[in-house]
Amino acid sequence: MKKLLEISLGIVTSVGGFLEVGSMATAAQAGATFGFQLIWAILLGTICIIFLVEMAGRFAAVSGHTIADGIRERFGFNAFLWPLLATLLVNFMVMSAEIGGVSIAAELATGIGFQWWALPVAFLAWLFLWKGTFGFIEKGVAILGLVTLCFVVGAVMLEPDWRQVAAGAVPSLPGHDAASYWFMAVSILGASISPYLFMFYSSGAVEDHWDKTYLGTNRAIAGLGMSFGGTISLGVLIVAALVLGAHGINQVNDYHQLPLMLIPIFGFWGFVLLVASLAIACFGATLEIGLQQAYLVAQGFGWTWGEDLKPRNDPAFCGVYTLSLLLTAIPIALGLDPLKLTIFSMAVTAASLPLTVVPFLILLNDERYVGEHGNGMISNAAVILIVALGFVLAVVSIPLQILGGS
């Protein structure tokens, strides 16, 4: 019974935490421009993150290590620096985009320009981290995050042609705008396979003292939670494809176009739901990435860490998230376009994945860490193939996108 409760709670956490500015923006863009054609990218990304999250939990439960601990110990400090710096940089960009997402939601709700909201949002996030405990943040984000299910409800209410939806699950070549098609595919992969997500999950598993008895729970949470999460992204894409397309919008290049997505379905409440979804999903992600930055640095250097400690007992840990929040708010406060930043940082995430995922996979196949609970052939192959695909597409399409100038 207790396990069942834990599993449901874990699933709620993954669902509530899955959608963030990246998956929302990339799915909306893809739906508006290419209809259902890019659904396969969401599916591939979701399959990959299911495997990675399951591995992260299994690694933490069996070895007692977080991913950062494991990579540093197994590969040494010099090799650890590469994934460390890459992840810090990617997290920085994504966190800035999330703060931008909350700020846009605040702008939509109040009419006051988004750049004025960046610092207040960062301050509010800091206050949550400063005063909150891990459980409070995890569960708060999860339960409020369920509002994002409105996209799934909306998608079903629109009664899409499910055969066409299924056809989108098979990768196909674009009929137009090939460069932006592949760039969007990369951004979707980057948005689904967020390194902060599985690294955060391993820190959480260690904070909650998981051991081998949690392996089944972990498998259920990873599989079901991430699948439901992916379903929400799918909902966003379907809604965008049907609603935005019908209104003649086939390119989302401004956050102000987003409210239009839910209004035809839910009327005025559609506007409210969209603003709430955007604000909550991005705010939750800001908290999680802020924590993850602090976890990563503290674990990498062996400092005392834990969100449940008072700040004075882990000053360096708190210092990292305080500084991260302040610095990531600055680009948005200076007026950097949150949507452009979001899409770009998702593509960069996809490009950076091999640096974190490859050492991680080696750990998951190392008996000294995971004993008999090592990876199977299928999970290894699936993750390698999807991450390699994301990397190759990113390396090809990011320069094209920059040169193409959109």
Partner 1 sequence: MDLLRDLLDKQVLDRKQVKIGKVDGLVAELRQGKPPRVVAVELGSITLARRLGSRPGRLMAWLAARFGGERHAEPHRIAWNKVRNIGVDVEVDVDVRRTGIFDWQDWLRDRVIGRIPGA
Kindly list the residues in this chain that would bind partner 1 in the complex (CB under 8 A): 63-65, 69, 72-73, 76-78, 80-81, 130-131, 301-305, 310-312, 315-316, 318-319, 322
Looking at the Cβ atoms of 160 and 319, the one nearer to partner 1 is: 319
Side-chain-side CA neighbours of residue 33 (13 Å): 22
Backbone region of residue 176 per phi and psi (left: phi > 0; alpha: psi in -120 to 50; beta: other values): beta
Looking at the Cβ atoms of 261 and 355, the one nearer to partner 1 is: 355
Looking at the Cβ atoms of 302 and 405, the one nearer to partner 1 is: 302
* Minimum separation from the CB atom of position 123 to partner 1 (A): 12
* Minimum separation from the CB atom of position 55 to partner 1 (A): 18
* Minimum separation from the CB atom of position 74 to partner 1 (A): 8
* Minimum separation from the CB atom of position 301 to partner 1 (A): 7
Quote the crossing angle between the two packed helices 67-110 and 39-63, to the nearest 10°: 130
* Minimum separation from the CB atom of position 297 to partner 1 (A): 12
For 19, 137, 140, 170, 184, the CA distances from 151, given in Å and listed in that order, are 11, 23, 20, 22, 20
- Do residues 317 and 306 touch, judged by C-beta distance below 8 A? yes
Looking at the Cβ atoms of 127 and 381, the one nearer to partner 1 is: 127
Looking at the Cβ atoms of 198 and 305, the one nearer to partner 1 is: 305
For 41, the token pair is 């990218």
Looking at the Cβ atoms of 13 and 203, the one nearer to partner 1 is: 203
Looking at the Cβ atoms of 260 and 323, the one nearer to partner 1 is: 323
* Minimum separation from the CB atom of position 287 to partner 1 (A): 17
Whole-angstrom distance, CA of residue 338 vs CA of residue 352: 20
Side-chain-side CA neighbours of residue 273 (13 Å): 21
* Minimum separation from the CB atom of position 322 to partner 1 (A): 8
Quote the crossing angle between the two packed helices 118-131 and 67-110, to the nearest 10°: 130
Whole-angstrom distance, CA of residue 279 vs CA of residue 266: 18
Whole-angstrom distance, CA of residue 258 vs CA of residue 330: 24
* Minimum separation from the CB atom of position 325 to partner 1 (A): 13
* Minimum separation from the CB atom of position 273 to partner 1 (A): 33
Nearest to 132 by CA among 302, 321, 327: 321
Whole-angstrom distance, CA of residue 388 vs CA of residue 250: 30
* Minimum separation from the CB atom of position 279 to partner 1 (A): 24
DSSP single-letter state for residue 225: I
- Amino acid symbol at 299: Q
Looking at the Cβ atoms of 69 and 288, the one nearer to partner 1 is: 69
For 167, the token pair is 């056809």
Nearest to 191 by CA among 155, 148, 141, 230: 230
Looking at the Cβ atoms of 171 and 315, the one nearer to partner 1 is: 315
Looking at the Cβ atoms of 277 and 322, the one nearer to partner 1 is: 322
Sign of CA pseudo-dihedral 83, 86, 90, 91? positive
For 54, 181, 239, the CA distances from 219, given in Å and listed in that order, are 6, 33, 30
